[in-house]
Amino acid sequence: MDWLQLKGTYPAPKDQPARCGEILARLRVLDGTLYDDIPNPFSKEYSGASEYIKLDERRPSIRTHMITTVIEDAVSLLFGDKHFPKIKADNAATQDALTDFVRDAGIGTIMQRATIRGSVGSVAILVEVQNFRLRVNVLDTPYLTPTWNRATGALVKVSERYQVQGSDLREQGYQIADEDLRVMFWFQREWDDESATYYVPVRVSDDVDAAKDDQRSTNHGLGFVPMIWVRNLMTEACDEIDGPCSFTRAIDNMISADYLLSQSGRGLKYSADPKVIIKYDPDKGGGVDTSVSGEGVAAYAGGASQAYEIASGDVKLLEINGTAATTIVEFYRTLRNIVLEQMHGNRADADRMSAAQSGRAMEMMCLGLTWFAGRLRDPYGNGALVSLLEMVCAMSSAVTDGVLIAGRKVSDIDPSGISLTWPQWFPPTPPELLQLAQALVTAVDGNIMSNETACAMYGAAVGTDDAAKEWALVQAQIADKAAQAAQAAGQEAATNTRKAGLDGKSKSHKVQA
């Protein structure tokens, strides 16, 4: 089975654009539910009518989830622990406020989720103000439709529309009659630069325009849409709603690997408890259980313990040998390498690493993965995260009395000069830091590099927050040591002078005597 065949079995969303069904199918791959609509388990070979069930009509019993693993590995290098970028701004107060916001609102986890969900093509980040506190949510985009200003590229409106059952609406607090609990309704809402508008759900069969739900709608009056639309692997402004999917090329091979391992596992289980195959001649009679396989077909029992005593005939064990099992494993490794190569995943084998590796060696081993994560830095870091921080600044000015960050209200945050400083993919080891320090000292002593540049390079290697601030501290430390040395020299000179004076007086007294 390939991806096109499997995708064709999914129900098409009604009255939705073509991109909706494509995004929903990709989300199934990301969530690991791509086989859930196949009714037959892999161990079921025959239907109730004794008809053989083809492999394509069975759910794989082994699922590798290789695609999700590669995506999560790349995202961990982007926004994971010790990899989240440091925030820079022209105003020190802005830098402190935004750093507190990132920590207080859990933006690291939110950006990880946004990057993972956005790998299907696009993702939306919604920012809301509730009791002066900023709340950030990640929205999947199959049912969202954005509208941009062609002149400025800014979002003008984002609409959401999908079908939902009446029982689900009642759980959300809507007044739904008992006879409509199984009826499908249209759920609609819309965000623009002035309000978040909810509409009263209407039955799909009614075909009428929905009325505004005044109770749930809110007027935020921000002057901009409080949402960030991220196109995967794209940074330039365009009319495209979605960017390219990160894993489309690898889906076919992952499906092949899942079915291959499922079938090989089935064969190995048969080897542990092989089936007994009995050939017989119907004309001569024989002990055959026709209720299992039908008359005229070779009968089989549940395992090697279920055997027949026959006067004549042929009995064999159906099993897989070790050579075939090894070949299957090798074929799976080939498929795995192809998937990782297509997605630029990490193909290094941790079992073959005999000792700890340096940061540079780890980076070379994971070159494909770091390249993939590097491509994600622009749309999700320098694009989405910076836009989110700028939106926080705008909201602090638009909301009366400001917004609540880390337990204190902050208003009129200056958005100028907001940028990100990314750490190294893998931290250097102590020997690497020593080599770098020695090389920088040699470069400074040889007058081919300034002390300030050397300080900035070493600070970047060890993960210093602010290289300029660190250089100022180094200068202050040098000046302090120079002042202490001058003071010590003065004290020593004064001591020597006093000592010389005392020695002169002593000699004078001796001469008079």
pLDDT in tens, 302-326: 555 555 445 455 666 656 666 777 8
Q: Are 68 and 345 in contact (CB under 8 A)?
A: no
Q: Is 285 helix (H, G, I), strand (E, B) or coil?
A: coil
Closest by CA to 245, choosing from 102, 407, 119, 386, is 119
Domains of the chain by residue range: 1-138+238-272+319-427, 275-318
The residue assigned the tokens 């690991």 is 32
For 46-53, which contacts have Cβ atoms below 8 Å and span 24 or more sequence positions? 50/293, 50/294
Tell me the per-residue pLDDT of 228-266, one tens digit each, with 9 for 90 and over. Answer: 999 999 877 677 899 999 999 999 999 999 999 898 888
**Locate tokens 């084998």: which residue?**
349
- Answer whether 393's CB lies under 8 Å from 94's CB: yes
In terms of Cα–Cα distance, which of 397, 471, 469, 463 is closest to 426?
Answer: 463
**Residue 129 contacts residue 399 (beta carbons within 8 Å):** yes
Residue 58 phi, psi dihedral angles, 5° rounding: -120, 150
Q: Which amino acid is at 511?
A: V
Q: What is the pTM of this model?
A: 0.81
Q: Which of the 8 DSSP states describes residue 430?
A: H
Is the pLDDT reported for residue 282 higher than 70? no
Query: Mean pLDDT across the chain, nearest whole number?
Result: 85
Local structure of 508: helix, strand or coil: helix
Task: Measure the CA–CA gap between 237 and 477, rounded to whole angstroms.
Answer: 48
Q: Which residues contact 95 (CB under 8 A, 6 or more apart)?
A: 87, 88, 89
* Nearest in space to 144 (alpha carbons), one of 128, 154, 158: 158
Q: In degrees to the nearest 10, what's the CA dihedral of 449, 454, 460, 461?
A: 100
Question: Does the pLDDT at position 55 exceed 80?
Answer: yes
Predicted pLDDT at 180? 92
Q: Tell me the pLDDT band of 38, cut-offs 50, 70 and 90.
A: very high
Taking alpha carbons only, the member of 321, 147, 331, 183 closest to residue 257 is 331
pLDDT (tens digit per residue) in 162-173: 999 999 999 999
Q: Tell me phi and psi for residue 466, to 5 degrees.
A: -135, 110
According to DSSP H, which parts of 51-119 are helical? Answer: 66-79, 92-104, 107-118
pLDDT band at 490 (very low <50, low <70, confident <90, very high): confident
Separation between Cα atoms, residue 257 and residue 19, nearest integer Å? 27
Could you give the CA distance from residue 221 to residue 94 in angstroms, rounded to a whole number?
23
Q: What is the pLDDT of residue 281?
A: 61
Q: How far apart are CA 112 and CA 134, in angstroms?
A: 18
Q: d(Cα 209, Cα 204) in Å, to the nearest integer?
A: 10
How many contiguous H segments (helices) and E segments (strands) does the chain have?
Answer: 15, 17
